[in-house]
Amino acid sequence: MAAEKVIDKIRAREAAGQVPYFSFEYFPPRTSDGVTNLYARLGRMTAQDPLFVDFTWGAGGSTSDLTLELAVNTKKNYGMDVNMHMTCTNQDASKVDVGLEGAKAGHVRNICALRGDPPKGQEKWEAVEGGFECALDLVKHIREVHGDYFGISVAGYPEGHPDNIKPVADLGRELTDSERIRVCNVEGVEHVCNDQDWKVELDYLKEKIDAGGEIILTQLFYDVGTFLQFVRDCRAHGIMCPILPGIMPIQAYGGFKKMCGFCKTRVPADVAEQMEALKEDGDGVKAYGIDLAARHCKEILDSDLNLNGVHFYTLNLEKSVLGILEKLGLKKEVAEEVTVETENTTVGTHVA
């Protein structure tokens, strides 16, 4: 089956009125059994006709070989178009080129260009000798070497990049109205990406798009109002490409707290209160996660911002995502199989 660029698929679906659309994200499992289970899950999820699926590169580039293998096999065996993550972490230009050539040979036509997280045990991100400093460098390299062959997506941060989210007390002044929309609580301390850093982030995001990025995939969020303001700010800044909101269904209390802390995610008071009330009720947390995500998706898709797609961080599971699609009236009915899901909260985050 011929491979397509995601941006072309989006344009075709929107022109034909085939909206909304959605996509699924997975990460390379740690064990061979996990890989086997993931392939089985991918086979089942193919029936939902996602716009694309993507696979994370892994912190520190630790799973790059498996990411490429998963991407190529998914296209080959299931016919789904793949958006393969690629990071700058621990990679010089030659390693990047090997990955891109492997994707091209395997009919994978889409790359999500990211800086990546620091390697395990290293707090500060640093480029390797002969490597790239940031995602912008990677976008430019892909376009320089491969022209328009690859569709390129980049990361966006509705609340600001975690590196730019700092204690409010450090500002030494009152928050502006725009800053209040982005305030988050990190271990009991208010943090925010201030207006000055916010403009720098939007400038950089526009650079990534102007250099060849075609789609923005956002970091997870739990405040729809903050996300919608991010979209408005992007449009006012001249960033007009499709923006796909990153929706991570809440699967477990511990995983939710860990991810929100790591990403410095803004959590509205009502969500925080409900999660505390359900913290000992695993099934209740999952049910709430499905309902919350479905409500968020509906609010986004019903907004006046012409947002037609949703990107799901599946955590390599399927029941919550299928539950959300069902509530949205988007689930395609297929013959059911009995599956046992095991929570795994290892995910790749979007780092510019």
* Catalytic choice (14, 25, 129, 336): 25
Q: What is the C-alpha separation between 111 and 99, in angstroms, rounded?
A: 10
Give the DSSP H or E segment for 180: helix 177-180
Asked if 182 and 160 count as a contact pair (C-beta separation under 8 A), the reply is yes
**DSSP assigned state of 348:** P
Asked if 113 and 138 count as a contact pair (C-beta separation under 8 A), the reply is yes
Asked if 347 and 256 count as a contact pair (C-beta separation under 8 A), the reply is no
Question: Residue 35 is encoded by which pair of tokens?
Answer: 């890989």
Measured in whole angstroms, the distance separating CA 168 from the mean position of its chain's CA atoms is 26
Cα dihedral 303/304/309/313 (nearest 10): -40
Supply the DSSP string of 274-343, one letter for each residue.
Answer: HHHHHTT-HHHHHHHHHHHHHHHHHHHHTSSS---EEEEE-TT--HHHHHHHHHTT-PPP----------
Instruction: Tally helices (H) and strands (E) across the chain.
Output: 12, 11
Give the 3-state secondary structure of residue 28.
coil
Asked if 135 and 116 count as a contact pair (C-beta separation under 8 A), the reply is no
Asked if 22 and 307 count as a contact pair (C-beta separation under 8 A), the reply is no
What are φ and ψ of residue 174, in 5° steps? -75, 150
| Residue (of 42, 86, 39, 44) closest to 65 by Cα position | 86
The answer to whether 318 is a known catalytic residue is no
Give the DSSP H or E segment for 204: helix 195-210
| Residues tagged active-site | 25
